[in-house]
Amino acid sequence: MLASGSFDGQVAVITGGGSGMGRAMAEEFARLGAAVVVAGRRPEPLAETVGAIEDAGGRALAQPTDVRVPDQVDALVAAAVERFGRVDVLVNDAAGNFVVKAEDLSPNGWRAVTSIVLDGGFLCARAAGRQMIAQGDGGAILSVIASYAWTGGPGTVHSAAAKAGLLAMTRTLAVEWAPHRIRVNTICPGPTATEGAGAALWPTPADEARVAATVPAGRLASVEEIAWWSTALCSRYAAYVTGENLTIDGGHWLEQEGYMPALRPPAP
């Protein structure tokens, strides 16, 4: 956990900031001194995040945004600049997901997920990157991916393909924008206890227990555990880290069971 004041004078834009991991990140950036702009489609959760930040003495703005719509994304960055004067950090946290067999996935379902995750991630990076380039003193862009970006994700072909695209985008922009001192990284949370992920991927307690049992650490991550490393990667302590991914998953993606099944917790 960074010291409070680590982001004094900085402005962080967080998509998906109304709930779950994005809200925890927004609250942590604000605790560390950043003014925070939260974006998402539904105004009510954004207002709740802003209320929580302001109650704790921080500064925040809610900007309802569909990250798939270029004009709305440009308006998001413009709103951050108008209210707080600049943009130093962008977190691409907005996502959509559901479990479906690939052969049953409609073109619209494919588009719904890939356009939120990949189109939205690029549009937000482009808008924030343009602002950071114009400011001339660097910045940090962080996108949230999943380990199925490199392992493949049976049942989530849309999300796996889009997250893989975000990883490639990140490595590309890390090089293109290094001369502008804009760092571009990803974090890869494992299964994390949020309402959105739970509803989409482990809707019943039995499903959740089954997922937790596949994590060598034996549990889901908390949103705070993800938020601490998100702020760290965007901070000055990571000034020489770019094009990198940090996996925070309790060993989940490395779990192969292998020759020692007794290592696993008993099935629920």
- Work out the angle at residue 188's Cα, subtended by the Cα atoms of residues 183 and 194, and round it to the nearest 5 degrees: 120
- Identity of the residue, 190 or 250, whose beta carbon is nearer to ligand HXC in the bound complex: 190
- Identity of the residue, 108 or 256, whose beta carbon is nearer to ligand HXC in the bound complex: 108
Tokens found for residue 79: 């709103």
CA torsion 217→97→256→232, rounded to 10°?
A: -50
Set 148, 237, 240, 259: catalytic member: 148
The CA-atom distances, in angstroms, between 174 and each of 32, 125, 170, 179 are: 25, 11, 6, 9
Told to judge if 148 belongs to the known catalytic residues of this protein, a careful annotator would answer yes
| CB of 253 vs ligand HXC, minimal distance in Å | 9
| CB of 202 vs ligand HXC, minimal distance in Å | 9
Contact residues: ligand HXC, CB under 6 A: 95-98, 100, 106, 108-109, 112-113, 146, 159, 190-191, 196-197, 200-201
Q: Up-side HSE of residue 241: CA atoms within 13 Å toward CB?
A: 18
| CB of 156 vs ligand HXC, minimal distance in Å | 7
What is the enclosing helix (H) or strand (E) of 125? helix 120-135
E strands, 119-220, are: 139-144, 182-189
- Identity of the residue, 111 or 236, whose beta carbon is nearer to ligand HXC in the bound complex: 111
Instruction: Give the residue nearest to ligand HXC (CB).
Output: 96
- Identity of the residue, 35 or 167, whose beta carbon is nearer to ligand HXC in the bound complex: 167
Point out the residues that are catalytic: 148
